[in-house]
Structure 1
Amino acid sequence: MIIQQIVEIINSNQKFLVVAHENPDGDAIGSTLGLALALRDMGKDVVAYNVNSVPAVMCFLPESDFIQACLPDNAFFDVAFVLDAGDVERTALPVKDLCQTMINIDHHPGSTFGDLCFLDTTACATAVLIYRLLLGCQYQLSLPVAKALYLGILSDTGSFRYSSANQESFHVAGELVGMGVDPWETSSHLYESHTPERMRLLGQVLPTLQISSSGRYACVTMTLDALKESGASEEHADGFVNYPRSINGVEVALFFNQIAENLYKISFRSRGSIDVGALAQKLGGGGHHNAAGAKLNGPLDEVKNTVFSLLDQLLS
């Protein structure tokens, strides 16, 4: 069994790197912090890394500063855990060159890299897979670890609103609450502690709303000018794609995020009938059935026309 193989690797090694994807969401941060703190509790030497800083709304997690954005000089590890990444390149690290053994733990379809791959696309979040692994290690979860994993589950299930919120998600969340996690503390920090910069940015983005003639897809757009005028950063836009998805009749929501001149990152969200993961793959990206992303070069109108044409074909 894959969990037992990973447990044996943990037991027989000392130096570990734990890393997740860039622009981390709650599952990336929660999984990274949860596994890293647990490994440290087991007496291991651990570096938790993310190329981007921990989002401000997640800094309430105990020891969130354990996740760092730089590596020690000449760093080399016995084992590197790559979490929730989909593709190792999304870590922005040459992970394979930094370790003897790379272990991929993920729930994204098609995430098959690594010397060892613990992949379960039925899992609601990578945090659940970390929970299973820690049980396999016979590790008694500390409260900081439990809080980190709960954040990952809450975030990736959209507060248990998404179709990914399966029986296991509620069971594990219940176990974590039984260990002392306060659901209100987590949800209030994650959803009700927004900065003025975020709200100003939202005020710039919502007027860009476009709804297709069929009413079946809709999008909002964020430009570099909007970021500059609001004083916000890209992390403040987390969740903006959910606004067009909340419109009655919309099956696919899109968020066009300008990240450079003539370069846009596109987030896709589906209510379930459309596989946006497959759509994103056609555009060189990837993701889940209901949540995916891609990057496209070109002027905004051309980028939108490319995406909308594919959507019209899917919805016809």
Structure 2
Amino acid sequence: MKKIDEIIGDSKTVGIAGHVRPDGDCVGSCMALYNYLKKNRPDLQVKVYLEYVDSKFDIIKGVKEIDTSGYDGTVYDLFISLDTASLDRLGQNEEFFTNARRTACIDHHESNKGYADYNYIVAEASSASEVLFNVLDEDKFDKTVADPMYMGIAHDSGVFRFQSTTAETMRIAAKMIDFGVKPNEILEETFYRKTYNQMMVTAKIQSETVLCMEGKCIYGVCTFDTMKKYNVTTNDLDAVIASIRNVDGVEVAMFAYQLKEDTYKISLRSKKYVDVSKIAVSFGGGGHVRAAGFEVKGTLDEVVAKVLSSIKEDL
């Protein structure tokens, strides 16, 4: 592990980005690093890029400064990816990374093989935000850094209930509270708050889920027609997989939603013994032991059949 100043070296310009369809940990880790550098390294030109930012993250200082327009030809001295398992997952910001003079990757995905010049990947960590904590100097934190870091850790640990939550995870979260984080505000605004349309589409998907494999697997789907009916996009569907995972007796939950006419995004979650990251990797994706995902082409029936077959083998 290198500390952030060593990673930066003599760089004068630094770009930061996270993965497509950014979640709480992606936004949290990117903003924690951005706010840290803005506070402690006024000598640097720093900018953060994401393809989309949900309004629920507006509670985090600096979010309005995120650039969502994509690659603009800028060549950075250093470009840092956070919470991004593979280069292609940077989406519209990939060219910033490939054209930078030097690159770094800070992540916690087991499937990340290290695509940067400098890679710091801790697969057993709860979140990229937890990994980032060790890269930064704690004595230079303030609330603007602590808020997004706490948010990232809380989101990717399922509010501290997933298997990846350790004593160290809790210690870091407690330190963030010491810096002024108000957990109730962060969690209510960014984790639990949902729009009416999000609530309705989630209820629709839940009502049509299928329980199979003697109750050990459950799956739900969402097509373009459903999204249109409830006036939502793929960015509104992040809570669905968590909601169906909680069914009693279920070990593996699968959620499939449409990305293109013939392409679906698959999210997998497990509780105790199935390593869903292995399933995801077999389909060209990745993730963690208990949470993983990938994209697959085919009709909805074909996609569901393929993935269920793979889940059944593991069960």
TM-score interval (norm. to shorter): over 0.9
Unaligned ranges ≥5, structure 1:
none
Given the superposition, is the C-alpha separation of residues 299 and 73 from structure 1 closer, same or farther in structure 2, using an over 3 Å criterion? closer
Deviates more, 1:165-174 or 1:230-239: 230-239
- Stretches of structure 2 that go unaligned for 5 or more consecutive residues are none
RMSD across aligned positions (CA): 1.5
TM-score normalized by the length of structure 2: 0.94
Letter in 1 for 2:32: G
**1:85 aligned onto 2:87:** no
Distance 2:231 2:69 in 1: 26
Aligned to 2:140: 140
- Note the alpha carbon deviations across 1:79-135, whole angstroms, 9 max, x for none: 000111100110112244331111011010131111010011121111012211112
Partner residue, 1:130 = 132
DSSP 3-state at the match of 2:101: strand
2:14 aligns to what SS in structure 1? strand
Deviation (angstroms), 1:203: 2.8
Match of 2:100 in 1: 99
CA distance in 1, matches of 2:235, 2:56: 10
C-alpha displacement of 1:223: 1.0
Partner of residue 115 from structure 1, selected from 114, 117, 132: 117
Give yes or no for contact 1:88–1:95 (8 Å, CA) kept in 2: no
Query: Shift in Å at residue 314 of structure 1?
Result: 1.4
Runs of 4+ in 1 over 4 A off after TM superposition: none
Q: Distance in 2 between matches of 1:230 and 1:72?
A: 32
Q: Check the 8 A contact 1:272/1:289 in 2, yes or no.
A: no
Corresponding residue of 1:181: 181
From the superposition, tell whether residues 73 and 310 of structure 1 become closer, same or farther in structure 2 (CA, over 3 Å): closer
* 1:13 paired residue number: 11
Using the aligned pairs only, state the percent identity: 28
Matched with 1:219 is 219
Q: Which amino acid aligns with 1:147?
A: D
Q: Report the TM-score when normalising by structure 1.
A: 0.94
Instruction: Look up the equivalent residue of 1:3 and give its one-letter code.
Output: K
Q: Is the contact between residue 267 and residue 292 of structure 1 (CA under 8 Å) also seen in structure 2?
A: yes
Matches within 5 A, 1:1-316: 2-4=1-3, 6-41=4-39, 42-43=41-42, 44-51=44-51, 53-70=52-69, 73-92=72-91, 93-111=94-112, 112-135=114-137, 140-315=140-315
Report the CA distance shift for 1:38/1:264 in structure 2 as closer, same or farther (over 3 A).
same
